[in-house]
A and B are shown apart, each in its own frame.
Chain A
Amino acid sequence: MNIPANGACDDYEFEVAELVDGTLAPESARIVRLHLAGCARCRRWRDEYAAMDARLASALPRPRLAADFEWRLAASLHPGAPDDRADTRVAAEREYAELMAGLRDRLRSATLGGVAAAVAAAGCVLAVLPVLVEHLRPALDVQSGSVVLRFSTLAITIAALAWSFGNDVLPGLRMAR
């Protein structure tokens, strides 16, 4: 301990700073606090020092080292070494391409199948409908051509929708979007 208990303010200046920093030994801290209790000048110095400490702590930028620092260091030390990150990226891109190709194939086959089924269903309906209409004509008070057209449209729509739901084409379309 090198502080005189009854010393001048200049003797306390450094210790007051250490007291603010929290690095002063307990016995020295006790003497400095005693001095501060009776010295307005040293209290002002303590307050100014503490305020400057707080201003510096908040004002000075504290950037962090980039996350890829070690990777870039390794790349500069071993320029010919395989690039693990590049391998990972290539693998991810390949997986994505395979996924998209699979989706496209599934959608294409589902769409072609749907069209074929719809055409087949429509053909069947068209083949059966005239016979059906002939039988029902007496009961219907409408022209036969108009009835055939309405039945055909309705049948094709129902067949195509039924097939689409059955073969999961609509979820496939959602995924493709």
Chain B
Amino acid sequence: MDPEIEQHLAAGRHDRAFDLVVGAYKDRVFRLALSILKESAAAEDAAQETFVRVWKALPRFDGRAALGTWIYAIARNTCLMDLRRRRPTVSLDDPNSTDAQHAAAQIASWPAQDPERDNLLRLLAQLPRNQQEAVRLFYLEDRSYDAVAESLGMPLGTVKNLLHRARKRLIELARPEEVKAA
């Protein structure tokens, strides 16, 4: 934890500690929310809601978990609750749920851009949800395995395996597409 944040928390200066927490974690929380919710506006709302919860709970933060781990856990829960509210039929407990229909509808609603890009995003939408999130977060975090592991609350080796399987599957999915296109 940032020593300055730690000092403010230890001294009970929660307002000051919170200001520093927001400055230090807002971008990471936003990117985590974006990897889960896929929409910028929804991710920003979830980031706001996350920090409102952090604000309320900060006086009770006991430091047993790392501050970042604690904040990212709140962010993930906030996003999953948002997903449940919006799409109650999707099983979020099943890591193999793909929600490809939602992704396809989202891509269809975008202005026509790059067909290759749209094609790749359609392939991505066919992956299990946990792989999609890991892939999105990995590239949002400038290819940092450590950042993904910390944000998702997973061991580094698990994240590497998850990303490896995801990209291998994308390569396999892309092969017939390229054959068809050729």
A interface, CB within 8 angstroms of B:
13-14, 17-18, 21, 23, 48-49, 52-53, 55-66, 69-70, 72-73, 76-77
Contact = CB atoms under 8 A, between A and B. Distances in A.
Contacts of B55: 77
Nearest to B143: A21
B171 A76 contact: no
Contacts of A57: 139, 143
A60 B52 CA distance: 28
Contacts, number: 71
A54 B143 CA distance: 11
8 nearest interchain CB pairs?
A63-B40, A59-B117, A65-B30, A60-B139, A59-B120, A48-B171, A52-B171, A17-B164
Given A69-B48, A70-B22, A76-B52, A14 B164 contact: yes
A65 B25 CA distance: 12
B51 A73 contact: yes
B121 interface: yes
Tier of interface size on chain B:
20 to 34
Interface of B: 22-23, 26-27, 30, 34, 40, 44, 47-48, 51-52, 55, 114, 116-117, 120-121, 124, 135-136, 139-140, 143, 145, 160-161, 164, 167-168, 170-171, 174
A73 B48 contact: yes
14 contacts: A17-B168, A55-B120, A56-B135, A56-B139, A59-B121, A60-B135, A60-B139, A65-B30, A65-B44, A66-B44, A69-B44, A73-B48, A76-B48, A77-B55
A58 B2 CA distance: 33
B39 to A, nearest CB: 9
Contacts of B161: 14
B32 to A, nearest CB: 12
B73 to A, nearest CB: 19
Contacts of B167: 17, 49, 52-53, 56
Given A21-B145, A59-B120, A60-B140, 20 more contacts: A14-B160, A14-B161, A17-B168, A21-B143, A48-B171, A49-B168, A52-B174, A57-B139, A57-B143, A59-B114, A59-B116, A60-B121, A64-B27, A66-B44, A69-B48, A70-B22, A70-B23, A70-B26, A73-B51, A76-B52
